[in-house]
A and B are shown apart, each in its own frame.
Chain A
């Protein structure tokens, strides 16, 4: 049952072919068996999960079940979960148990899901390989010598390895799409403002977006349906009706205009991987879509602008971790300055410190104009590129990454090489657009992800396109050998 989709499991639960407790126990057993290898979970909440499963079975028995009742999921460890350790994969929060749920967690619980635990990630979501975690790197289920991608590496690996059918994640610069691509699963970053950020430990407030990872577009639709919508506790969350995502999945693609941004098919894409994407484009042509080339002329500036804006916001967002109220505090501080210096010095890892320093500098009065404000101007230009492109086409398509998963340690010594792995994903965050990555094929036995980018709040179309592709192809059903 571990390789079934949420939609399939939901039907089985409703038909009473399976109980939520059985399902939960089976997946807890798999986590027990494989987490030692994968390191995808930081915390497993077995007892609580079984209790939730029992309640779900009661709801199902009473005929009060929804599509997600009794479905086991995992939350990335930057979602606050009341009474459950929430570490952000940082020593800084190694002991932090929030007294409240993130809005996303509360809404999914309301929908009846069973939380199996909290997934590993790059520390404070800063990283593209999951190697910056205080709890050690997550391994890619397709090849445990390779990274699962990051920062939502734990969620992607857990879904790919059949430890859980779906998981929440966050995406600030590609943190859902890149690991989804590396692990051969589907990941959706909704429009900025579509899903509440309340209770998600902030990395970069203007870019962070609650996201989902699952094995099919239909499952993404089911999860997003429960998560999306206005939340008065998040001022940046938009008060806009949520469509029925599942209802639009089957729409035919005749006449849908797909744009191929020229810049996504130039440097930085391995030829074998480009062929996989080209084949996927052909598939869409067969499905009735019109294919057009478009241009996003400022895309080359995206990584640089992102690495000013994101760390600048992070430098301020992470100032609250000062050893005063919660989280890590150094031993025997001599005075206030010592408390600050050592609590932060010992509590944060290298990559986080690097970004805090970059961000702090970008905001200094001396650099504000040339760094922060310039990056904001670039952000506006990138946004405008998309608006122009969407006058000609309905969706943009390209590779999620330029290459499949790299080896552990391969890029960790060179931060810039690491940052450049996000070259195709970052622009959607800067423009606040929804973007989805789905498996499109393989290169040398490793999965390859294809990215779809849509207009603001047009998640339904992305899900529709992904679903039609998954009906026509089998790439999303291929599982890593050692975890079948």
Chain B
């Protein structure tokens, strides 16, 4: 039996406003519990919400970036349920008139094609607080610090057909919201959270199977694992004659499994109704145009420009534009090193630099090797001052804070030897020291050329220009096995 997976994702992106969505309290992360909750956030009697215009602006910006419809009227609704960290007993959210409707993004598939993933809606809402179950001797602590933080809930269409596609979509979305500077994308701190609706059906079946909502999947890796686990669970269930139950399941990353949280029968009736404390939001075309002016170059457009302007492959351009900071760094390197260094710059940024950043867990904006420093290094390779191999040593030294490429080359005496006489002298010395190998080479063992190159290179301390060395060595030895 062939099965098809159907996935839709709901992403909660925390918007980077300075104050909360309906109050003036700060949204900064990490302050002591309950220190950033004002009377409105605490739902003190008589307090009222007032919409933060910046949150609306960010939502509209997102809508414009995904080619969505921005209705001229949007309505906030109350989602009613009791929970200790939900101070008002309802969450202000949006129900049937969200601020963004019907957009899409494109993802790259493994076979090299692209696929359009629909985004049904994106709506604004406030976050709840946190319940803390540890350290309170059997009691529960409530931290309302996060209560009222603005969220944009982004709901995809059920267009995703595998865990890999889900991850590609999520990464693309992550890149987009950070490009737009509306979300910091920090998954560990919960700024970018994902729930997945997963179902399976027989290939060719026009109807969707029963879906299960997976909660608590807070990294790209877990999304893939959780979905794959869930898909297998559902297929096993169906193939053994069982049925999938519509329910919410929690992903346990430690055990790599999903567990039932609540079934549909237990689902709450949220009694949505328009919030009478907030008038419908009227979004004028002037407002939309003012937001459009703030749109940066978006990832797809930047990728296409990188391919065109720097002659990069689609893959390289994709990697380099995966974040706005990486793309900015790359362009700064090319600006400083020269257009002819576009390809080497891509290789170095994606290779040595990314490797070092990953190894040390450093963000590109805090890289000890600046774009200008890397550009100088590329120029020294290009003008034959150093070889590519020596350049790696210089890079490591720069990374350790020893100075610029020129300073390190000078201090360590790494300047490449390009003087023909000096190289010839070293060749002569090596050949004289290895008469037996010279005999063997001449009698046909051509691969010994590499051995001689290595010996001369060693003698030069790695500084002999490799191209010159090869050429001069061939001249001295004559061809092998005549």
Contacts and interface: CB of A to CB of B under 8 A. Distances in A.
Interface of A: 78-80, 86, 88, 93, 96, 98-100, 102, 197-202, 204-206, 232-236, 312-313, 315-316, 318-320, 322, 324-326, 336, 340, 360, 363-366, 368, 372
Given A80-B46, A102-B46, A320 B276 contact: no
Which of B45, B80, B272 has the most CB atoms of chain A within a 10 A radius of its CB? Answer: B45
Contacts of A234: 48, 50
Which one of B88, B272, B276 has the greatest number of beta carbons of chain A within 10 Å?
B276
A99 B142 CA distance: 20
Contact of B269 (A93, A316, A340, A365): A365
Given A99-B44, A325-B142, A336-B84, 11 more contacts: A79-B46, A80-B44, A99-B39, A202-B45, A233-B48, A316-B273, A324-B87, A326-B45, A336-B140, A340-B82, A368-B273
Interface string B37-55: 0010011111111110000
26 contacts: A79-B46, A80-B44, A96-B45, A98-B45, A99-B39, A200-B46, A202-B277, A205-B276, A205-B277, A206-B276, A235-B50, A235-B279, A312-B273, A318-B89, A320-B43, A320-B45, A320-B89, A322-B82, A324-B87, A324-B142, A325-B87, A326-B44, A363-B271, A363-B272, A365-B269, A365-B271
A366 B90 CA distance: 19
B211 interface: no
A324 B84 contact: yes
A205 B278 CA distance: 10
B324 interface: no
A320 B88 contact: yes
B177 to A, nearest CB: 27
Given A206-B276, A236-B279, A322-B89, A316 B46 contact: no
A319 B80 contact: yes
Please classify the interface of chain B as helix (H, G, I), strand (E, B), loop, or mixed, using the class held by over half of its residues.
Answer: loop
Contact of B42 (A80, A102, A315, A325): A325
User: Which 10 pairs from chain A and chain B are nearest by CB?
Assistant: A319-B89, A363-B271, A205-B276, A206-B276, A199-B46, A201-B45, A320-B43, A80-B46, A320-B88, A201-B46
A198 B82 CA distance: 24
A69 to B, nearest CB: 26
Interface residues of B, number: 29
B80 to A, nearest CB: 5
B387 to A, nearest CB: 67
Contacts of B463: none
Contacts of B51: 235
Nearest to B39: A100
B78 interface: yes
B142 A202 contact: no
Contacts of B278: 235-236
Nearest to A323: B84
Nearest to A318: B89
A198 B47 contact: yes
A199 B80 contact: no
Nearest to A99: B39
A236 B278 CA distance: 7
B45 A80 contact: yes
Interface string B120-145: 00000000000000000000101000
Contact of B90 (A199, A204, A319): A319
Interface string B139-156: 010100000000000000
Contact of B78 (A99, A206, A316, A325): A316
Interface string B160-198: 000000000000000000000000000000000000000
A16 to B, nearest CB: 38
A199 B48 CA distance: 8
Nearest to B90: A316
Interface in B230-279: 269, 271-273, 276-279
B48 A319 contact: no
A91 to B, nearest CB: 14
A325 B143 CA distance: 11
Interface in B264-311: 269, 271-273, 276-279
Contacts of A88: 45
Contact of A360 (B44, B50, B271, B272): B271
Contacts of B84: 322, 324, 336
B51 to A, nearest CB: 7
A198 B271 contact: no
A93 to B, nearest CB: 7
A102 B277 CA distance: 16
Nearest to B278: A235
Nearest to B85: A324
Contacts of B50: 232-235
Contacts of B45: 80, 86, 88, 93, 96, 98, 201-202, 320, 326
A77 to B, nearest CB: 11
Given A324-B84, A340-B82, A199 B89 contact: no
A197 B87 contact: no
User: Interface centre among A86, A88, A102, A319, by most B CB within 10 Å?
Assistant: A319
A235 B48 contact: yes
Contacts of A336: 84, 140
Nearest to A366: B269
A360 B268 CA distance: 13
A372 B48 CA distance: 23
A201 B78 CA distance: 18
B150 to A, nearest CB: 16
B82 A363 contact: no
A326 B142 CA distance: 13
A313 B276 contact: yes
Interface in B3-56: 39, 42-51
A19 to B, nearest CB: 33
B276 A319 contact: no
Nearest to B23: A233
A97 to B, nearest CB: 11
A325 B272 CA distance: 24
A356 to B, nearest CB: 11
A344 to B, nearest CB: 9
A316 B271 contact: yes
Contacts of A98: 44-46
A315 to B, nearest CB: 8
A198 B89 contact: no
B277 to A, nearest CB: 5
B46 A202 contact: yes
Contact of A235 (B49, B87, B142): B49
A326 B42 CA distance: 10
Contacts of A199: 46-47
A76 B80 CA distance: 29
Given A205-B276, A319-B90, A198 B44 contact: no
A393 B41 CA distance: 45
Interface in B353-397: none
A205 B49 CA distance: 12
Contacts of B276: 204-206, 236, 313
A320 B271 CA distance: 15
Contacts of B88: 319-320
A201 B44 CA distance: 9
A200 B51 CA distance: 19
B283 to A, nearest CB: 15
- Give the most central of A197, A204, A233: most B CB within 10 Å: A233
B274 to A, nearest CB: 9
B348 to A, nearest CB: 53
Interface string B75-106: 00010101010011110000000000000000
A336 B85 CA distance: 12
A94 to B, nearest CB: 13
Contacts of A198: 46-48
B468 to A, nearest CB: 76
Contacts of B272: 363
A363 B89 contact: no
A235 B47 contact: no
